[in-house]
Amino acid sequence: MTSTNVLVIGSGGREHALAWALSRSPLLGALYCAPGNAGMAQVAECVDVGSDPSSVITFCQDKAIDFVVVGPEAPLVDGLVDALEDAGIKAFGPSRAAARLEGSKGFTKDLCRKYNIPTATYARFDNATDAKAYAAAQGAPLVVKADGLAAGKGVVIAETVDDAMVAIDDMFAGAFGTAGAEVVIEEYLEGEEASFFALVDGETVLPLATAQDHKRVGDGDTGPNTGGMGAYSPAPVMTPAMVEATMDRIIRPTVNAMAAEGAPYRGVLYAGLMITESGPQLIEYNVRFGDPECQVLMMRLRSDLLPVLLAAATGTLNEATLDWHDEVALTVVMATRGYPGTYAKGSEIRGLADAAADDDIEIFHASTTADGDRVLATGGRVLNVTALGRTVAEAQARAYNAVDKIDWPEGFCRHDIGWRAVEREKETLS
């Protein structure tokens, strides 16, 4: 096989982890990231190509890029993969039509209903009056969701009917922009959450791994929701039987349904699950890797990432296999003080090389920029300090040991990432 020139689109911890894994491939030629960050610059050439598909295509033609890996959801929902494929450039990720699995919650709920895929009961609304009548009739608790992409913020768990009314008014008043022009109201599901990832080539499904993340900003899973303050893989709640049930009842039926609907799914399918008393239920789909879940997946992956991503893009996953490290991976997100509210940009981070010196540690950058030799924080979630260990407790101890070596007074992290799994380990040992 000749070497493959790759462009990774994105600038977060997820894309750093993907670029890091790709950079280890013996099949890789040149690796570019657009726009990238200070961490990605250590494994790739970072370039600014703009977000317009035509400028991405021009760049690919100039640099003889063979394969584009699209990290975030927005360009997928906007159809970047369709544009690249029309230009004869291979790309990892779903078409615009298939990306509706994340781009429209109503689309996914209707698909689940039509194909009998387990999910919370729901109704869709395009006006507040009908939505409120439904909420009042159902009673609380209820979940109110903006239909479109809202950067993970368009979901309100309403403990009372009054809270649901306020959420409905907010959404139709434009709190989430056009994402809230339509609203989905659904049943509140009780259980433990887990994430399941699979590669899909339109037809064949290759399960990747499971993970759990911590969405709340504060220790003990308290405070406002964030993009994710830490994660670990595998998710102990996802036993082999639960994985099988998820594949049989949720993932394969969805992949078959998308093909039947004329929008075959290619890329990574990320199922947000609620593990209920009656088994796994789908909370939502994402059409890209989770962030920070991708970071723990890439730490555990032993196989070469490049050929399997190519196989997903080109319909040859039936020939692919994956090999994983037995260890657990855990990542701690370091964020700028103030996140997920307002925060200052530009503070300096020191001590990264020392903190990452151990073979079992990788520090993925989520939003940094290089200023000469200095690394500056440029966003809310800034670093993902990621460790491997034989147990969750060991991975957790290693990750926090590395966190302690990072000199960044303007940053903070949670101190209990993995707590639920660590407690479970203690129970099994005692």
Taking the least distance from each CB to ligand GLY, the nearer of 5 and 225 is: 225
Q: Which stretch binds ligand GLY (CB under 6 A): 143-151, 283-291, 352-360, 399-407?
A: 283-291
Sign of CA dihedral 330, 334, 340, 346: negative
Note whether 186 binds ligand AMP by CB under 6 A: yes
284 binds, among ligand AMP, ligand GLY, none (CB under 5 to 8 A by kind): ligand AMP
Note whether 12 binds ligand GLY by CB under 6 A: no
* Token pair recorded at residue 337: 């003080």
b or e along 264-289 (b: 16 or more beta carbons within 10 Å of the residue's beta carbon)? Answer: bbbbbbbbbbbbeeebbbbbbbbbbb
State the Cα–Cα distance between residues 184 and 268, nearest whole angstrom: 24
Taking the least distance from each CB to ligand GLY, the nearer of 149 and 189 is: 149
228 binds, among ligand AMP, ligand GLY, none (CB under 5 to 8 A by kind): ligand GLY
Note whether 271 binds ligand AMP by CB under 6 A: no
**Given the DSSP bridges, would you call strands 4-10 and 28-35 parallel, antiparallel or unpaired?**
parallel
User: Please, are residues 349 and 375 in contact by the beta-carbon 8 Å criterion?
Assistant: yes
> Among 12, 154, 180, 228, which residue interacts with ligand GLY (rule: CB under 6 A)?
228
202 binds, among ligand AMP, ligand GLY, none (CB under 5 to 8 A by kind): none
Note whether 143 binds ligand AMP by CB under 6 A: yes
Q: Which stretch binds ligand GLY (CB under 6 A): 85-93, 119-127, 168-176, 290-298?
A: 290-298
Query: In whole angstroms, what separates CA 61 from the centre of its chain?
Result: 29
User: Please, are residues 172 and 113 in contact by the beta-carbon 8 Å criterion?
Assistant: no
Using Cβ positions, the residue closest to ligand GLY within the complex turns out to be: 228
Q: Which stretch binds ligand AMP (CB under 6 A): 58-66, 183-191, 341-349, 368-376?
A: 183-191
Give the helix ranges, DSSP H, for 279-372. 293-300, 305-314, 352-355
Q: Residue 304 burial by CB count (10 A; 0-12/13-18/19+): exposed, middle or buried?
A: middle
Residue window 351-390: x/- pattern of binding to ligand GLY, with contact defined by CB under 6 A: ----------------------------------------
The size of the interface with ligand GLY (CB under 6 A), counted in residues, is 8
Q: Which stretch binds ligand GLY (CB under 6 A): 21-29, 284-292, 319-327, 384-392?
A: 284-292
Residue whose C-alpha is closest to residue 329's, from 258, 257, 389, 267: 389
Residue whose C-alpha is closest to residue 258's, from 142, 122, 99: 99
> Among 144, 155, 294, 301, which residue interacts with ligand AMP (rule: CB under 6 A)?
155
Going by the DSSP 8-state scheme, the letter that residue 235 receives in this structure is -
Q: Which stretch binds ligand GLY (CB under 6 A): 179-187, 198-206, 289-297, 338-346?
A: 289-297
Q: Scan residues 97-126 and list those touching ligand AMP (CB under 6 A).
A: 120
User: Please, are residues 231 and 290 in contact by the beta-carbon 8 Å criterion?
Assistant: yes
State the Cα–Cα distance between residues 305 and 313, nearest whole angstrom: 13
- Residues near ligand GLY (CB under 6 A): 152, 213, 227-228, 286, 290-291, 293
- Residues near ligand AMP (CB under 6 A): 120, 143, 152, 155, 157, 186-189, 193, 215, 272, 283-284
